[in-house]
Structure 1
């Protein structure tokens, strides 16, 4: 299974953030599916513009009850 999701997040303070999430899900038997995911964000709002500069790396699992994801921010740290 190849997740490919695009959407809009509306924050509690009214900002809109576009996101894209792609990855791979592996199902083995009756166990929950294991997911490896990568994501990007686009935010115009000054408070969330820092999201434009990161790549989101995530691991997750999915089953009949829903999806659980743990996400990490990949921040560019190499010198120019």
Structure 2
């Protein structure tokens, strides 16, 4: 049976890794659509429930803020390993 500190370490590192991998994957997709396709291309269009829009500078800024928060939360999760 693993000890409690080992379980805690495993859970924290799993959450931190998942946080970064999921965030960077989505961020890379948004940046690819924004940088490599013209504004009228279908890859830059999205439908979120009843709201339809396109990936523009406002969306990129919002996703960048979310990604920075994910990086900060990952750092905080890793700092929790020291306690």
Q: TM-score range by the shorter chain?
A: under 0.3
Structure 2 length as normaliser, TM-score? 0.21
Answer with 1 or 2: which has the greater Rg: 2
Bigger proportion of residues as strand: 1
Structure 1 length as normaliser, TM-score? 0.22
Which structure carries more relative contact order (alpha carbon 8 Å, separation 6+)? 2
